[in-house]
């Protein structure tokens, strides 16, 4: 039977490319999203992939959603924690609400979903978890104290959970994308983006498919010996 994969934020941007790639690899994919019903409907229409709406920052909501997916589709064996948001501001203007929203969604969401699938994966002795971090969690970024903290947290979270899962054949890895051409990056002012691209050795923004390629690699059944790793997919930017 096809393995079931849950991709959070899986109906647009990087997540949509991940969902499609996993579907192409023969997985049964469920994509979650927060509120963009139009994007979800269009994505299901295009791909046939089922979309479910729940907030990754809501623990009870994640538990209920996972239970429903597992009852109706099958046990989740592949989890991609991709949902994320930015609320950028310099410290002077960074409010407590902006801090909480980014930590609760990007990092809290990772905990909420891992916790919800963990007992099942442990009992079945198989799991593939990929957490989407960021180059800005590795290097920091001006105006992103909240986002860098959340993404940096994901990298530590990944290494700690990988140690817990290893004996049960659950691998836990992270991908640290560089700048990828999605709506999130299109919100960056043009002059700032120009400077960012100048620092990318490949001389271009990433494509969502560049990140999906890494997810396919890390979630393959025979990727069993790769755990606790962070894969940098950023056109070489991490070297600068």
34 in contact with ligand NDP (CB under 6 A)? yes
52, 66, 69, 132: residue in contact with ligand NDP (rule CB under 6 A): 132
39 in contact with ligand NDP (CB under 6 A)? yes
Half-sphere exposure of residue 90, counting CA atoms within 13 Å on the CB side? Answer: 1
108 in contact with ligand NDP (CB under 6 A)? no
45, 119, 183, 222: residue in contact with ligand NDP (rule CB under 6 A): 183
Query: How many angstroms separate the CA atoms of 172 and 78, rounded?
Result: 10
134, 138, 152, 171: residue in contact with ligand NDP (rule CB under 6 A): 134
Active site positions, annotated: 147
Look up residue 108 and give its DSSP letter. I
Beta carbons within 8 Å of 221's beta carbon, 6+ residues apart:
none
The helix (run of H) or strand (run of E) holding residue 98 is helix 96-102
> At closest approach, how far in Å is the CB of 61 from ligand NDP?
9
Burial class (CB in 10 A: 0-12, 13-18, 19+), 163: exposed
28 in contact with ligand NDP (CB under 6 A)? no
171 in contact with ligand NDP (CB under 6 A)? no
Q: CA-based diameter of the chain, in Å?
A: 53
Q: Which residues bind ligand NDP (CB under 6 A)?
A: 8-9, 11-15, 32-36, 39, 55-57, 82-85, 105, 132, 134, 177, 179-180, 182-185
């Amino acid at each position: 039977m096809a393995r079931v994969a849950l991709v959070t934020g899986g109906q647009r941007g990087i997540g949509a490319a991940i969902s499609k790639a996993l579907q192409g690899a023969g997985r049964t994919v469920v994509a979650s999203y927060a509120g963009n019903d139009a994007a979800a409907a269009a994505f299901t229409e295009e791909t046939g992939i089922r979309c479910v709406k729940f907030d990754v920052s809501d623990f009870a909501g994640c538990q209920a959603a996972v239970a429903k997916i597992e009852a109706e589709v099958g046990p989740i064996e592949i989890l991609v924690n991709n949902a994320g948001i930015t609320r950028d501001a310099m410290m002077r203007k960074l409010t407590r609400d902006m801090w909480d929203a980014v930590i609760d969604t990007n990092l809290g969401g990772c905990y909420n979903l891992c916790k919800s699938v963990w007992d099942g994966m442990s009992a079945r002795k198989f799991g593939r978890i990929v957490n989407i971090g960021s180059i800005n969690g590795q290097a920091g970024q001006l105006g992103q104290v909240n986002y860098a903290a959340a993404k940096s947290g994901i990298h530590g979270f990944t290494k700690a959970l990988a140690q817990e899962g290893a004996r049960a054949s659950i691998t836990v890895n992270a991908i640290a994308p560089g700048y990828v051409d999605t709506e999130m990056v299109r919100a960056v002012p043009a002059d700032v983006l120009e400077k960012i691209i100048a620092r990318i050795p490949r001389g271009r923004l990433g494509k969502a498919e560049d990140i999906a390629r890494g997810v396919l690699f890390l979630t393959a059944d025979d990727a069993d010996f790769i755990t606790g790793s962070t894969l940098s997919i950023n056109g070489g930017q991490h070297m600068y």
